[in-house]
Chain A
Amino acid sequence: MRSDDMLRAIGGMADRHIDDRPIEDIPKKRRMYVWVRLAAVAACVALLVGVGYMVVRKGEPAPLSQEGTVPNVREPSTDEPILPVYPDQNIAASQLPDSTCWAECPPVDVAAMAHGADSVIVADVVDRRLELSPEYKEHPDAAHIFESYPQVVVREVLKGDLTEGDTIFVWDHGYYYDDVPQTESSWTPSGGPFMEKGNRVVLFLDEKEDSRKTPSGEDYYTLWSSYLGVFFLDQDGLYHERATYATDYAFRRLIGPFEFTDDEPKTLDEIKAVI
């Protein structure tokens, strides 16, 4: 067989494969410009990144703040009066708001926190217990929603009755879905860290109440204001209040009465000086 034979055989191929129009009768197609190709490539890359992100996120649970996933939780709005979360906090009289409107509540600083807290300690987080949240027991995902109870060892007592070496549980702000922190939920402001094993912290604690137990029956302390009241030690030896990490405007409104404005990092000595 030679190419002649192949050419002849091609001449006999089925009608369905043949376009017998004169080439002049077939309209020319405009060639795609380079920038169009580049734009197409860029779009494909963006699509791949997007799909990759969705695939990665697919394994994670939906944030608790997604509409419809968390019953009885709503964001406060600025156009209606909302009661402060903890109206009975022991804030200095001069700092108590006259109105219940969040927007009119004064901010707090280290002095106000020290004044309001029953205990102030320097502590190391040695463990973290996740317990099924009783708050969400009616939720369809109740079997997956956990509250966080970091276990800390007291290293230094700056105020209160605790003693060095005590090991206590603290109820930390924020929820977990299984073991994934819900860092964007209504109750967990974006940006603020949770207490993790290995953290050195300064904690501003409320008085322990015997009636408060973890779901498994342990005593625990709560942070002053629930969310504020924990300083994280950074690698430079400075302490940062958790609220200074938060980036969520909704959170800012949520903690309105206790918004922390003294956002400069502090040395331990500076904190001690205030206390």
Chain B
Amino acid sequence: MKDHEIVALYCARSEEAIKRTDEQYGDYCRAIASRVLKNCEDTEECVNDTYFQVWNAIPPKQPSCFRLFIAKITRNAALDLFRKRHADKRYNDQIPLVLEELDACIPSHVQTEAQVDEALLIELLDRFLDTLPPREKWAFSRRYWNMDSVKDIADRLGMTQNYVKVMLHRTRRKLLAVLEKEGFDYALG
């Protein structure tokens, strides 16, 4: 079944949509969730939560790329579940590292509990990523979207881990500069 046909089922509020989604993207969603959660039960819970969120999102949303739409929802659902469980050492060891690294690109005066306008932040991120060289962008995306290990990224790029770490460090510094330049404190909600 084509993606637009699945979306049409959601729009028609047909429960067949979830069944078709699971057939088409069940394994895909499980792979994304398990990368974060490293636990079968939690992965299954995450995937079910994903379907539920997709059911609530469409309509009104009409995703142009259903596969990535569902991937993003799965990733964030997995992160939410991770936060609930993160005290447990069984969970993905990459997440704390990724969070620690991302701390470095947040301006100090906005490192608060205050909420940010996520839409603005995403827009800024997209603009920032558009300015990066392809390899740098790919490494950033793989590290912070897919949460791949530095070793995996280095292997795929044919570089040393140290080189990738330095490249990511420079990218984060650039992002920090952009956030400061854009006066991101105004985006605080």
Complex Cα spacing A86 to B103, Å? 88
In the bound complex, residues from chain A placing their C-beta under 8 Å from that of B138 are 19
Q: Chain B, interface size: which category? A: 35 or more
A61 to chain B, nearest CB (A): 43
Beta-carbon contact of B122 and A18 below 8 Å: no
Given contacts A14-B126, A18-B141, contact A3 B116 (CB under 8 A): no
Beta-carbon contact of B137 and A17 below 8 Å: yes
Stretch of B3-11, B12-20, B43-51, B94-102 contacting A (4+ beta carbons < 8 Å): B94-102
- Produce 1/0 per residue, B121-162, CB < 8 A to A: 110011001000000011001101110100010011111100
A58 within 8 A of B: no
Beta-carbon contact of B141 and A19 below 8 Å: yes
Q: Which single member of A9, A18, A26, A31 contacts B121 (CB below 8 Å)?
A: A9
In the bound complex, residues from chain A placing their C-beta under 8 Å from that of B99 are 3-4, 7
Beta-carbon contact of A29 and B122 below 8 Å: no
Residue of B nearest to A21 (CB): B146
Beta-carbon contact of A11 and B72 below 8 Å: yes
- Produce 1/0 per residue, B79-101, CB < 8 A to A: 10001000000000000001111
B49 to chain A, nearest CB (A): 14
Q: Which single member of B114, B145, B148, B158 contacts A32 (CB below 8 Å)?
A: B158
Given contacts A12-B122, A19-B138, contact A1 B158 (CB under 8 A): no
In the bound complex, residues from chain A placing their C-beta under 8 Å from that of B152 are 23
- List A residues 45-69 near B (Cβ within 8 Å): none
Beta-carbon contact of A18 and B68 below 8 Å: yes
In the bound complex, residues from chain B placing their C-beta under 8 Å from that of A236 are none
- List B residues 155-189 near A (Cβ within 8 Å): 155-160, 184, 188
B76 within 8 A of A: yes
B1 within 8 A of A: no
Beta-carbon contact of B160 and A9 below 8 Å: no
Complex Cα spacing A266 to B65, Å? 91
Complex Cα spacing A23 to B138, Å? 12
Given contacts A4-B83, A20-B67, contact A9 B142 (CB under 8 A): no
Beta-carbon contact of B157 and A19 below 8 Å: no
In the bound complex, residues from chain A placing their C-beta under 8 Å from that of B105 are 6
B142 to chain A, nearest CB (A): 7
Beta-carbon contact of B122 and A13 below 8 Å: yes
Beta-carbon contact of B158 and A13 below 8 Å: no
Complex Cα spacing A10 to B113, Å? 18
In the bound complex, residues from chain B placing their C-beta under 8 Å from that of A74 are none
In the bound complex, residues from chain B placing their C-beta under 8 Å from that of A11 are 72, 75-76, 79, 145
Residue of B nearest to A12 (CB): B122
Beta-carbon contact of A31 and B79 below 8 Å: no
Beta-carbon contact of A3 and B102 below 8 Å: yes
In the bound complex, residues from chain A placing their C-beta under 8 Å from that of B112 are 1-2
B58 within 8 A of A: no
Beta-carbon contact of B113 and A31 below 8 Å: no
Beta-carbon contact of A23 and B145 below 8 Å: no
Complex Cα spacing A19 to B101, Å? 20
Complex Cα spacing A89 to B53, Å? 107
Given contacts A1-B188, A8-B118, A19-B142, contact A31 B129 (CB under 8 A): no
Complex Cα spacing A11 to B80, Å? 12
In the bound complex, residues from chain A placing their C-beta under 8 Å from that of B157 are 29
In the bound complex, residues from chain B placing their C-beta under 8 Å from that of A2 are 103, 106, 111-113
User: Which of A1, A6, A19, A29 is most buried by chain B, counting CB atoms within 10 A of its CB?
Assistant: A1
Complex Cα spacing A2 to B83, Å? 13
A52 to chain B, nearest CB (A): 28
Q: Which single member of B114, B146, B155, B159 contacts A1 (CB below 8 Å)?
A: B114
Given contacts A7-B99, A20-B68, list 9 more A-B pairs with CB under 8 A.
A1-B110, A2-B103, A3-B100, A5-B115, A7-B79, A10-B102, A19-B138, A29-B157, A31-B158
17 residue pairs bridging A and B, Cβ less than 8 Å apart = A1-B112, A2-B113, A6-B105, A7-B99, A7-B102, A9-B116, A9-B118, A9-B122, A12-B76, A13-B122, A15-B64, A15-B65, A18-B72, A18-B141, A23-B142, A29-B155, A31-B160
